[in-house]
A and B are shown apart, each in its own frame.
Chain A
Amino acid sequence: MKTQLIKLGLVFAMLGIFAVGGGTAVLPEMQHATVHWFSLTDRQFRDIYSLGQVAPGPNMSMVLVIGYRLLGAIGALVVGFAFFLPDCALTLAANRLWTRFEGSPWRLSVQRGMAPVAIGLMCAGTYAIARLTLASPITGVLNPLSIGIAVIITAILLWRHVNPGLLVLLSGTAYLLLTHW
């Protein structure tokens, strides 16, 4: 238990610090680590990610539920501190050093170079959630209803901005009604 907790803490501390371009960027690594090194299933990972979509605030707060599912309340606590604390400390330190790099031409190079890396990682994060959702994680059979919802939500949001919280609830309700009516 204790070694599992330490391992879990180290994994999530690494994920927090590596989240270049936001939480989506580390979803593939997070899925891989929690499913292969711990006892989470792909479907549980997908369900917990969905819970994060329902709650307000930074939706990566769902990492606490991963900790809870794997190692109980203490697991949630360890994962929460490991994922968010080192990153906050890093940001605090960087904020105080930032002005020193204000005039450096390398700052623009870092921003220009890391932007496409961040977008590539976001594509990978989107792909990871799509693989878990648009086809069965177990049989690999495509799920037309999920695909339909994903396409409709994409089309709506490309057309205009709609409150995402509303779309989240509507999509969940639609899937429930269409499969359990």
Chain B
Amino acid sequence: MPPSDIASESAAAASVVGLFDLFKLFFMAGALSFGGGVVAYEREYLVRDSKWLSDEDFLATLEISETLPGLNSINIAVIVGDNLRGIPGAIASVLGLMIPGVVIVMVLGVLWASNHHNPRINAFLLGIAASAVGMLTVVTLQLGRRQFTNLLDLAIVIVTFAATSIFKVPLAFVLFVLGPIAIFLYRPSASLPRSMTEELHMPFHRGEHHGKLRH
């Protein structure tokens, strides 16, 4: 099939995506992604199973999601739902994504609240917290590969970390003072060679680690 036919076919498919289909797809992603990695499930279902999005569409959506504040998996649900079916689509997608996890975490939360003096439950949860430290370390290292190896980036990483963790500076200050300074350092007229600006894009776009993206 010539590419143009494929494109028009996927456009036709997109125009008939039902609200319940959207809900169902994101519900599956939200229900099966134990331990995180929700974005990888979304990609699997949106690109490979349903074919509502091409891989390029998905990566473009992920790029917007990462630039905006909030959880990437939820931002993706909002954008895909909105692009396919407008505001009702965005609502159906977000509800589908959130409902399984919210129900399960609330059931666990109620059980925990009435048993949180049980030493066995405390031990189990402490083991989980220890594994989370390992997972967060690896995700941060992988997402930040470029930032940890570029001198200016590394300086911004260290200042942000020190301000937050050591000097306990409020998050608002970090975002509204350090953020604009960092953007100014990378302002359009800054003399980075063009090829370099393309090469040093946000770390998150590199395909091979999406499987490990959390949240």
Beyond A132-B129, A150-B130, whether A29 also contacts B170 by CB under 8 A is yes
Contacts of A6 in B (CB 8 A): none
B137 & A150 in contact (Cβ 8 Å cutoff): yes
B131 & A84 in contact (Cβ 8 Å cutoff): no
User: Which chain A residues in 109-141 approach chain B with CB under 8 Å?
Assistant: 109-117, 119-130, 132-134
Contacts of B154 in A (CB 8 A): 116
Interface magnitude class on chain B = 35 or more
Contacts of B186 in A (CB 8 A): 108-109, 112-113
CA distance in complex: A157, B102 (Å) = 27
Contacts of B146 in A (CB 8 A): 115
Contacts of A44 in B (CB 8 A): 116
Stretch at the interface among B3-11, B13-21, B49-57, B195-203: B195-203
Beyond A98-B64, A168-B34, A176-B127, whether A58 also contacts B74 by CB under 8 A is yes
CA distance in complex: A33, B46 (Å) = 37
B123 at the interface (CB under 8 A from A): yes
A48 & B109 in contact (Cβ 8 Å cutoff): yes
Main SS class of interface, B: helix
CA distance in complex: A147, B133 (Å) = 9
B70 & A19 in contact (Cβ 8 Å cutoff): yes
Beyond A55-B101, A112-B197, whether A153 also contacts B134 by CB under 8 A is yes
Contacts of B35 in A (CB 8 A): 53, 56, 163-168
Which residue numbers of A lie inside 8 Å of B, CB to CB? 14-24, 26, 28-29, 32, 44, 46-62, 64-65, 68-69, 76, 80, 84, 87-88, 90-92, 94-96, 98, 105-117, 119-130, 132-134, 143, 145-154, 156-158, 161, 163-168, 170-176, 179-180
Going nearest first, the 10 A-B pairs with the smallest beta carbon separation are A57-B101, A120-B160, A175-B127, A153-B134, A165-B34, A164-B35, A65-B109, A165-B35, A171-B131, A113-B183
